[in-house]
Structure 1
Amino acid sequence: MAQTLAVAKYLNNLHVKKHGRAMDQMKMHKMMYFSQRESLMISGNPLFNDDFEAWKYGPVLVNVRSEYLTGHMFDGEYEELSDTEKELVESVYKRYDEYDAWQLSTLSHAEHSWRQARKGLVAGEAGNEKMSLTAMKADATREFLRRKGVVLA
């Protein structure tokens, strides 16, 4: 299993290489969410071990947020991702890079795992409930079926 910050650093490096600037924090959280969902979809296992919280603009990883707040993000030493992990993260990056942070936020709001963790909150209300890995697996299954052309009600 990859270190969470190693995945974030790899995503950021892909973004810098393509766009010449760091990935903004909001987009990073969504890319991390979609990377985790992709791993659950392909292998049934999480890519990394940290929990997402269901904030008002979508899933957030508190330790990734902390990196952005330091002003010297991803400077730490992290284990290198395996070739399989790199391929997975690259495929997610290619799939979602064309979308801006707000578009990705909208996509993440359609996810069952995020909506479930926000139960009882009104739109725009702050929240930090942990998102269930079981619910994220359901999102992964839904995405797998969507890609296969199965229409879900």
Structure 2
Amino acid sequence: MKAYDMARYICAKKGKMNQLQLQKLIYYIDAWNLAILKSPIIDEDFQAWLHGPVVNELWQKLKSEGVESLYSPIFVGNIKQKKETIKEIKALASKERLQVTDDTLKTYGNETGYYLECLTREEFPWKAAWLGLDESIKFYDALLHWRTEASPGRDGSSTRAISKDLMKTFYEKQLDRI
């Protein structure tokens, strides 16, 4: 599924939000689909931007629709449009994928964009991509790099992809903690 379709689904279900929150919700939906169902729900890769994971294609699409910043509001129109959007997106994904998606929205959906930004930036998949670390590096070593090396792209311009394999492994380990 394209991130834009997931964005429409989320906005139809949750109502108005900003792009910062939306991008992070899509990230967590993909992460938990990877961990639980062993494959991604989102077609595109996430990039390690300054404010956390971002699907650049979604960013560009929303920008072309007038969403100028991370904090600009985004929403799906009236109730009829919301129902039509939800029905349309449900046809794109399996019942299991939608269950993981809805569970993820229940867990993270009421958090602010800033909270979700901070949360994603504390997790290894974003840090590894932001710093350009090899996926196989040990978590402890990555934290040492995090605290001691200057990071390229601190202006938010990083285009490094966050590895879906690393996301899968990291969030599977989080499942073990639940």
TM-score range relative to shorter protein: 0.7 to 0.9
Q: How much identity, in percent, do the aligned residues show?
A: 21
Give the equivalent residue in structure 2 for 1:151. none
In the alignment, is the contact (CA less than 8 A) between 1:7 and 1:89 conserved in 2?
A: no
Q: Which moved more, 1:83-92 or 1:114-123?
A: 114-123
Give the equivalent residue in structure 2 for 1:150. none
1:3-152 superposed matches below 5 A: 3-16=2-15, 22-71=16-65, 80-119=92-131, 121=151, 124-126=154-156, 127-147=158-178
Give the equivalent residue in structure 1 for 2:138. none
**Displacement of 1:122 after TM fit?**
6.2
Alignment gaps of 5+ in structure 2: 67-73, 132-149
The one-letter code of the counterpart of 2:123 is E
In the alignment, is the contact (CA less than 8 A) between 2:36 and 2:172 conserved in 1?
A: no
**Cα RMSD (Å):** 2.5
The one-letter code of the counterpart of 2:20 is M
The one-letter code of the counterpart of 2:37 is S
Structure-2 separation of matches of 1:122 and 1:39: 30
Once the two structures are superposed, residues 1-32 of structure 1 have per-residue CA deviations (whole angstroms, 9 ceiling, x without a partner) of x232221211111112xxxxx22100011001
Structure-2 separation of matches of 1:123 and 1:6: 29
Structure-2 separation of matches of 1:40 and 1:53: 17
Q: Residues 51, 123 of structure 1: CA spacing in aligned structure 2 closer, same or farther, 3 A cutoff?
A: closer
Alignment gaps of 5+ in structure 1: 17-21, 148-153
**Displacement of 1:49 after TM fit?**
1.5
